[in-house]
Structure 1
């Protein structure tokens, strides 16, 4: 039994870290080192997109925010039809409900699993809306 345990320990110590591919708005470091995050992170066939914010809860602000998310998806050749999960955080859920048709245009009828949460504030105090996504790459 000692041999098995020691082999297991050796195997655990030699595991390579996961491969991560990052993108951050054209930043050569591919991440924001001041705040400590990357806009996108690809691991295997999954793309994680960090929260994108809007400082206004109006049609223009929601369109800008989802256009930014679309830009993140396009960096990897994906669209909103590859999105499987959306987390939305807002300081005014009722205002966002009124703007849901703007959001839905980006999904073109193919909606992801979604969670909407009203909060008191976001990381940027002036932000009113933040949306993060998880997308999957199609099987090759």
Structure 2
């Protein structure tokens, strides 16, 4: 019983700590978040950056290059680059098209590739978009 009470006390203390997470947000247009859809482009918690999905209408070199430039601008707001990215998730409606432009994706990372997941889906929020990429990056402590 004493062990159970100690576990409950520790769990309760941990839950209270989570309520005090400090979030720094960035969104384009000098805002901290979008209130129409309800998201921020980047949320920083401690030394971790969570970058929302960035979309393109085409899985071609121009589309993929634009996505990584936009992600780069989001990261730069916090002093980071694509070399700080540790996890990438790619959602696409055109996996073959994405595979065809993978050399531009790899070039964006300059040989320092993150853990990555690529998923083919039937549709993105923007009906004419074919690709969306989100990343997680770590800043030095």
Please report the TM-score for the alignment, with normalisation by the length of structure 2: 0.88
Structure 2, unaligned runs of 5 or more: none
| Map of 2:57 onto structure 1 | 55
| Map of 2:140 onto structure 1 | 138
Q: What's the CA shift for 1:12?
A: 6.3
Q: What's the CA shift for 1:138?
A: 1.2
Classify 1:11/1:112 alpha carbon distance in 2 versus 1 (closer, same or farther; 3 Å).
closer
For residues 99 and 13 of structure 1, the distance between their equivalents in structure 2, rounded to whole angstroms, comes to: 44
2:21 pairs with one of 18, 28, 37: 18
Q: What's the CA shift for 1:17?
A: 2.2
Size of the alignment, in residue pairs? 135
For residues 96 and 15 of structure 2, the distance between their equivalents in structure 1, rounded to whole angstroms, comes to: 50
Spell out structure 1 runs of 4+ moving beyond 2 A.
7-17
Structure 1, unaligned runs of 5 or more: none
CA RMSD, Structure 1 to Structure 2 (Å): 1.9
Q: What's the CA shift for 1:105?
A: 1.0
Q: What's the CA shift for 1:123?
A: 0.9
2:104 pairs with one of 102, 113, 119: 102
For residues 81 and 107 of structure 1, the distance between their equivalents in structure 2, rounded to whole angstroms, comes to: 6
| Map of 2:116 onto structure 1 | 114
